[in-house]
Each structure stands twice: as C-alpha cells, then as structure tokens.
Amino acid sequence: MDPEVGGETAGQGGDGADRGGVDALAHAPTHSLAAVLRVPDFRSLWIGLGLSSLGDWMGLLALTAMANASADSYAGKNYAIATVLFLRVLPALVLGPVAGYVADRLDRRRVLIWGDYLRGLLFLTIPLIGPRVGILWWIFVVTVLVEAVSLVWGPAKDATVPNLVPRHRLEAANQVSLATTYGSALPAAAIFAGLTLVDKLYRSVFDWVGTGPVDLALYFNAVSFIVSGVVISRLRHIPRGPADVDGEAGALRVILDGWSYVGRTPVVRGLVTGIVGAFAAGGVVIGLARTYVSDLGGGDSGYGLLFGTVFAGLGLGMWRGPRLLQGLSRRRLFGLALTLTGLLLFPLALVQQLPVVVGLTAVLGFFAGVGWITGNTMLGLEVPDELRGRTFAFVGSMIRLTLALVLAVAPLVAGLIGTHDIGPLDRNGDPFVVYNGAAFTFLAAAVLMTAVGVASYRQMDDRTGTSLVTDLRHAFTGSTGVYAATGCFVALEGGEGAGKSTQSRLLGEWLRTEGYDVVLTHEPGDTEVGRQLRRIVLDPATGDISDRTETLLYAADKAEHVDRVVAPALARGAVVVTDRYVDSTLAYQGAGRELLDRDVERVARWATGDLRPHLTVLLDLAPQQGLTRFHERDRIEGEPLAFHERVRQMFLQLATAAPEHYLVVDARRPVDEIAVGIRDRLRPLLGHASRGGADRVAATRRTQP
C-alpha cells in the first residue's frame, strides 16, 4: 500500500464517512495536531495507545516498587530492581531479530488487537495466580511473555502510523503518539504516588486486594490493555505487512535485508547510533532512579514524583520541541538535543538536593523528548514501507539489547562503588557531603550521552557552512533566510504533472483582478541566459552529464533569474509567482541525484542570495500518476520511477521542516478547489504588495527543472 494513498482525503483514515475531518485535515497547517486526530483510524490507534501506555507505566512502577521492598541492603535493592528491568528487555536478545520478520508477515490489525488482549490477560494473572505458584517467580515469567508479545506489537504499530496519515503530517502524528506513550507516565506516576500515600495514611484501605496499591495497579494495567484492544479493533484500514508480498523469501533473508538497509544508509545508521546511545545513558538513569531517590531522602512518593517529572518533560519535548525550533534542520536538532541531554546529566549527578534534581529532570526529559520525536520521524521518512517493520524492529532490538546490558551493569557498578563521605565532618560528626554509587554512575552516563550527542551531531550535520549559533538565532526568531520586505514572493513546487503551471496561471489571474502588480515566472529559462541553460539541462540530446555539472547549471539559472526578474519585481512591490525555485534543486539534484543535501543547498542558497519565498505551495502527487500525463519526456521526466519517488519524499520533507512557510495540497483534488485553498493561505501575506502598476506576464507553459 502506498503510504500516500488517500493523500489529504478520506483514504488516509477511512471510507470518507468523516467528511468534516477530511476538510479539516486538508486545510489545516502541516504541524496541526488536531487535524491529525481527525483521521478516524489514527484517532482509534491513539486512544488505544494511550490506554495501554497508562496501564503499562503503572505496572512498571508497581513491579519496581515491589522489587525494592523485597531487599534490605543498598546493593540488594539495586540488584532486585535490575532483575525486573533486565527481564523486560531479555526477550529482545533472543526474539528481537525475528520480531521484525513476524511483524512484516502478519496482518498488522490482528497483531495490534490480539497483542493487547494477550498482554492484558498476562498481567491479570499476576495477582490472581502469582500467590499460588510463587509471586516473584510468576512476575518474572509474565514479564518475559509480555515483552515477547510487545516485540511484535511495537514494530507493527510503528510501521502502521505512516500508512494512516499523509506523509508530510508524519511528524505531527509521531508527536501525538509518542507524547501519549511517554506523557502517560505522568498520570500513571501521579496515580501510583497517590495510592501509596493513601495506603500509608489508611493501612486498611487496600486490604481487599492482597498487596495493596501494587495489586490494584496491576488490575488497572490489565484492564487498560484489554480496553485498548477493543478500541483498536475499530480500525478498518490497517494494511497487511508489505513483506508478505514476497512469499518465497525466507526469514533469514528478510531479516538480513532489513539489517543491511540500516548498515548501508548513512542517515539511518547515524540515527540508530544516536538513539541506541541515548537509551544506553537513559537506562542508567532508569535502573538507578529508585535508589538515587532513596539516597536523597525520598521514598516511594519521591520516586513517583521524579518518575512523573522526567516523563512530563519528555512528553512536553515531543509535543512542543520541534515547533519551538522549526528553522533548525532535523539532523542538527537531533544531535543537539542528545548533547544537551548528556550535559544536563552532570548537574543531576552532582547536585544532592531532591527539589533541584526534580527540576533538572524536567528539562532533561524535554530535550530527550525532542531528540526522540525527531529521530523517530526521520526514520519514518527515510525508511520505505516494505522495510519499515524490520527496521523499527532492528532499532527496538538494539535498544533492548543495550538496555539489558546497561541495566545489568549499572546497578552492579553502583553497588560496588557503595557510599563515600567527602569533606570534613561538621559539628554533629556528619560528613560534609555523601556521594553514593548511583551518583557516580550517573556521571559516567553523562559522559557517554554527551559523547554520543556530539558524535551524532558531527556525523549528521547537513549545514556545515552555517554556524550553529546562526541557525539557532534564526530558529528562535523565525528569520531563517532572507524574506523581501516589499512585495510578496510565492513559489509553486511539486513533481511531474502536478499542475503547477495551471495553478500559477489561475493565481496570477486572481491577483490581477484584485489589483496587484503580478509577475508570473518560471525556472529554468525565464531569462536569456536561462533559456540557453534550459536547453542544455532538459534536452534529451544532451545525454548524460555530471550530476554536479547539472546542479551548477541550475544554480546559474537561479542566480540570473533572481537578479534579473525576481528581485527587481519584489523591490517595486509586485507579487512574484514562480513555477519552481530552490526546493526543486534540493529535490531533483539533491535527493534525485543522491548528492549531499548540504552541498546542493549551499550552492542553491548562494546563487539566490538566500532569498526565500514568503509562501511555497507544494502540489503533492504520486509519480506513478503524474508521469502518465506526458506523451514525450525530457531528460528529467525520463528518469526512472525510483528517482521521482526520492524527489517527492524530499519535497515533503522540506515542507514538514518549515510548515509556517508551506502549503501542502493534494494535487488530485479539483483544480478550482486547489486554487481557492491557495488564495486563502496567501491573503494574509499580501500586506506589503502594491496594487496597480504594469503587469509583466512571463512565459507560463509548464516547466521542468
């Protein structure tokens, strides 16, 4: 199934019954979270995910609290908690490689529904069967079985989300789902802390549920999974795992294909390295959080507060982080977020005051959330659907493997270090400060996380010609690039046959009727120099030329175009509507020719003086459909389908990175409906354009880069 089936229409989330939701999705900004939730199938998945996540976090808190209570010594408490956490990731060591294969072979809808049912029933057996067969032994068994089911359920869910929403709204969908997954830890922690406080005040309140609030949390967990399965059963359009198309492929080959893709794709490889390194450092914090809180004088309530705070920050980072730094490229944002998370671990380990630690964990969680949503979105955009389940499973397996090692080693290290008195004794004979093994281990995690963040940033930096300080200033002020102070600059972008020339003409006619000075133009070829360059780059007789040569020829056309046509028109206050601009170079020569994004962008931005359109309209159309609209093809149109698929993906990626300057439209919609949508979005931007004056209508026939 094509991930763009349905575009901005009902095909993304049902059969068209929810017409109001379709209209809202079509006209809402790219980053709109409310618009994504109007997709019926995604909304059902989101509700089910929220229910199961809430119960799962309560279960984790209950089981780690039970493990902490089962031991007396400092080292024993660390080892008991580590055992429970280790068993949660143990199945990945054995079943992880197979999970992605299974997720891509089975019906994803059934995996999601029955995966929730099975996990709910398994958790239900802990308070019902556990006391009869040995509670700790049964907890270990159920933990392993639940995680085995989750290994298949997780990749199926991750691979499904990109099929439920339009591609350019994937970041918003990931924000909603991931913020729900991790943000639900906050109410879970609040409920758990509340139950423990009530139990301390009124010891007889929970006598009817055996072990008190712990059993009650487990019942809640079980019921939430079952209800989640019921909600997800309402989903109607989850596609089957695409790998089952190749019925002859063996399990080993399918698994190795997924792993090979990660290894040979630099961006995906960098993402996986960063994500795994982040979880390694995070595993240290998770494994030692309970004993660290005890070191600072807090109990179960303090543990619940710290747990909830870090996940509140995580959810906030996922929800608001990418929009706070919209002008920053995703690759830079990912590395920067990981680095800041590592740096914040240093004061977290050194400051021995619980209120300060709680505040630091909120900020730390925020940057971790920004990194996780950014990395997950890039994976969803970079990985093709037929490999998505295996890739997400590979990432999940590596995360679990790393966590297993860390959760086993970190408490051991903390226990071996023990407690240490630092400084002279005070008048009461107490040491100046006491540092325990958990704090020392946190310092080691800080070094690891910071190193991973810096390495990830350097490997994935796609703007080496621009300083980070400049990028951050532009991101916070919204001033990335140069925007003309007079006139209005509009660019129409999109793949072959998307209707850019038609919409350019209709927009020009409307603007003239409104009394504006209008310049309709296009790239390449709307200058004398440009016409000669156009013949070279588009004529099939030119044959094969160097990709870099082609890029430079397009850059030369842009330089002449901006200097001779665009800049003078904007200076006099005209509305300039161009059919293609810099985005076409980034998409065709960058992604299409598989040149380095940063190199192509530096050349194109330099050629245009970094002049940016006030609005870029992306007419999105699947290449399979657009290419059928031609009888004869030029050099670019004649490229293979894979080339045009990469072009389309880059267009959508650019639009997602700066939604405030883009309007993404499904080019399959009626021509007049598209035109109205463009006018509505453009009206607020016409304040600096002049009315009246002589119009210059340039050649408007459809052009190609």
In three-state form (DSSP H/G/I as H, E/B as E, the rest C), the secondary structure along 18-38 is CHHHHHHHHHCCCCCHHHHCC
What confidence score (pLDDT) does residue 672 get? 92
Decide if pLDDT at 346 tops 60: yes
Decide if pLDDT at 702 tops 50: no
Residue ranges matching CATH 3.40.50.300 in the chain: 481-697
Q: Report, as an integer, the average pLDDT of 325-340.
A: 78
Range in 6-20, 110-124, 126-140, 200-214 with the lowest mean pLDDT: 6-20
Q: Which residue has the higher pLDDT, 545 or 299?
A: 545
Decide if pLDDT at 494 tops 50: yes
Q: Report, as an integer, the average pLDDT of 561-586.
A: 92
Q: Which residue has the higher pLDDT, 71 or 366?
A: 366
Whole-angstrom distance, CA of residue 269 vs CA of residue 390: 14
Instruction: Report yes or no: 238 and 109 within 8 Å, Cβ to Cβ.
Output: yes
253 pLDDT band (50/70/90 cuts)?
low
Q: Report, as an integer, the average pLDDT of 115-140.
A: 79
Q: Report, as an integer, the average pLDDT of 511-528.
A: 92
453 CB burial (10 A radius; 0-12, 13-18, 19+): buried
Q: How far is CA 27 from CA 21, 34, 173, 501, 668, in A?
A: 10, 12, 16, 21, 15
Identity of the highest mean pLDDT range in 3-12, 202-211, 613-622: 613-622
Q: How far is CA 692 from CA 266, 484, 514, 584, 615, in A?
A: 52, 19, 9, 31, 21
Q: Report, as an integer, the average pLDDT of 126-148.
A: 76
What confidence score (pLDDT) does residue 6 get? 33
Decide if pLDDT at 290 tops 50: yes
Whole-angstrom distance, CA of residue 133 vs CA of residue 169: 49
Percent of the chain with pLDDT over 70: 68
48 CB burial (10 A radius; 0-12, 13-18, 19+): buried
Q: Which residue has the higher pLDDT, 363 or 299?
A: 363
Rounded to 5°, angle at Cα 658 from 653 and 661: 120
Identity of the highest mean pLDDT range in 101-105, 347-351, 465-469, 691-695: 347-351
Decide if pLDDT at 210 tops 70: no
Whole-angstrom distance, CA of residue 302 vs CA of residue 663: 47
Residue ranges matching CATH 1.20.1250.20 in the chain: 10-471
130 CB burial (10 A radius; 0-12, 13-18, 19+): buried
What confidence score (pLDDT) does residue 28 get? 57
**Tokens describing residue 374:** 């950014």
375 pLDDT band (50/70/90 cuts)?
confident
Identity of the highest mean pLDDT range in 179-183, 350-354, 615-619: 615-619
What confidence score (pLDDT) does residue 556 get? 94
**Tokens describing residue 316:** 């906030």
Q: Which CATH number fits domain 481-697: 3.40.50.300, 2.60.120.260, 3.30.1330.10, 3.40.50.2300?
A: 3.40.50.300
What confidence score (pLDDT) does residue 23 get? 43
Whole-angstrom distance, CA of residue 558 vs CA of residue 553: 9
Whole-angstrom distance, CA of residue 498 vs CA of residue 618: 9
Decide if pLDDT at 190 tops 80: no
Instruction: Report yes or no: 112 and 156 within 8 Å, Cβ to Cβ.
Output: yes
Cα 183 to chain centroid distance, Å, stands at 15
β-strand partners of 431: 425
Q: Report, as an integer, the average pLDDT of 237-244.
A: 54
Decide if pLDDT at 245 tops 60: no
What confidence score (pLDDT) does residue 631 get? 65
The mean pLDDT of the chain is 75
Whole-angstrom distance, CA of residue 277 vs CA of residue 402: 8
What confidence score (pLDDT) does residue 506 get? 95
What confidence score (pLDDT) does residue 18 get? 40
Range in 92-106, 109-123, 306-320 with the lowest mean pLDDT: 92-106
1 pLDDT band (50/70/90 cuts)?
very low
Decide if pLDDT at 579 tops 90: yes
Q: Which residues contact 679 (CB under 8 A, 6 or more apart)?
A: 507, 510
Homologous superfamily of the 10-471 domain (CATH): MFS general substrate transporter like domains (1.20.1250.20)
Decide if pLDDT at 692 tops 70: no
pTM of the model: 0.52
What confidence score (pLDDT) does residue 195 get? 65
Q: Report, as an integer, the average pLDDT of 215-224.
A: 78
β-strand partners of 611: 482
Range in 268-282, 334-348, 583-597, 613-627 with the lowest mean pLDDT: 268-282
What confidence score (pLDDT) does residue 109 get? 79
Decide if pLDDT at 11 tops 60: no
What confidence score (pLDDT) does residue 348 get? 82
Q: Report, as an integer, the average pLDDT of 136-146.
A: 78
Whole-angstrom distance, CA of residue 274 vs CA of residue 398: 11
591 pLDDT band (50/70/90 cuts)?
confident
pLDDT digits (tens, 9 = 90+) for 29-61: 556 677 778 888 888 888 888 887 887 777 777
What confidence score (pLDDT) does residue 581 get? 94
pLDDT digits (tens, 9 = 90+) for 351-373: 877 788 888 888 888 888 788 77
Percent of the chain with pLDDT over 90: 13
What confidence score (pLDDT) does residue 207 get? 55
Decide if pLDDT at 509 tops 90: yes
